[in-house]
Amino acid sequence: MPAFICTTCGTQFSPTTAPPAECSICLDERQYVGPAGQQWTDLEALSRTHKTVTKEQEPDLLGIGVEPHFAIGQRALLVQTGQGNILWDCLSLVDEAAITALRQRGGIKAIAISHPHYYGAMVSWSEAFGGVPIFLHAADRQWAMRTDGNLVFWSGDAHRLAGDLVLIRCGGHFAGGTVLHWATGAAGKGSLLTGDILQVAADRRHVSFMRSFPNYIPLSQAVVRRIASRIAPYRYDRVYGAFWPSIIEQEGEAAVARSVARYIVAISGQGPADSENDG
């Protein structure tokens, strides 16, 4: 039986003889059903129209994406450590090109994912590397559309993976929204891999925070302050967002602090755009 994949969010569902009636992730207020209605594909069909591509991001960090654009369009990241490699976030397509590229770099010890929009074909990815564990925060358990894989639901606000990699629960976008701290990234200055829990802005000098990006639902001041407090103990210079260009190359901590302050001013109605003379 095929494991059907939603073409809007890219989530793979448990194998069934016919496509599911609906995608509950897309029916949630943070996502949407496309204008053509609910559409499905599967790995075999997707592999005929799309391919994986890889790109070195920095030493010991490999980006993996899908071309042409599919679903949300995020790219995953392979973090290489002496204690095993971690695949951060996931894709809807796993093909021989990706499997070969990752095996040449030592394979995968585990998969960890920031939030449900990037679960993709996580079980198929795990199976391609021998059934490695998939670390998801327990607060997002209800959004796992495939439960037939090696899912590990961790709880609390931090969880150490291989080497110097730490998962940090920030919440916000989803209750279990998670970022990954890589202490030796950025030539030892530290990197923060954020998916879109902290969304790197187009200027690559700021981040922002939303409950829903496509539907423009903001987060409260209190939630954004909590996100900032959760990552405050960790040192980092570089921030990797969810997409290829979404990288703050340096002074990432200052960029996040500046962004938190700007967001709180804006959401509280204190920003310059709220003056009576702005129309």
pLDDT digits (tens, 9 = 90+) for 197-248: 999 999 999 999 999 999 999 999 999 999 999 999 999 999 999 999 999 9
The Cα–Cα gap between 256 and 126 comes to: 32
Q: Which pTM was predicted? A: 0.95
Q: Average pLDDT for residues 23-51, to the nearest whole number?
A: 97
pLDDT at 275 over 60: no
| pLDDT for res 273 | 57
CA-to-CA dists, residue 105 to 81, 99, 117, 131, 165, angstroms: 10, 10, 26, 18, 18
Mean pLDDT to the nearest integer, 73-100: 97
Asked if 172 contacts 109 with a C-beta cutoff of 8 angstroms, the reply is: no
Token digits of residue 18: 């016919």
For residue 163, the model assigns a pLDDT of: 84
pLDDT exceeds 80 at position 272: no
Instruction: Provide the mean pLDDT of the chain.
Output: 96
pLDDT score for 175? 98
- For residue 27, the SS3 value is helix
- pLDDT at position 269 is 84
Q: Report yes or no: 140 and 114 within 8 Å, Cβ to Cβ.
A: no
- Predicted confidence band at 50 (pLDDT cuts at 50, 70, 90)? very high
pLDDT at 276: 53
**With bands split at pLDDT 50, 70 and 90, how would you rate the model's confidence at 279?**
very low
Q: Give the pLDDT confidence score for residue 258 in this predicted structure.
A: 98
Pairing of strands 151-154, 134-137: parallel
Domains, the chain, in order of start with CATH, read 52-278 (3.60.15.10)
| % of the chain at pLDDT higher than 70 | 97
Q: What is the pLDDT of residue 180?
A: 98
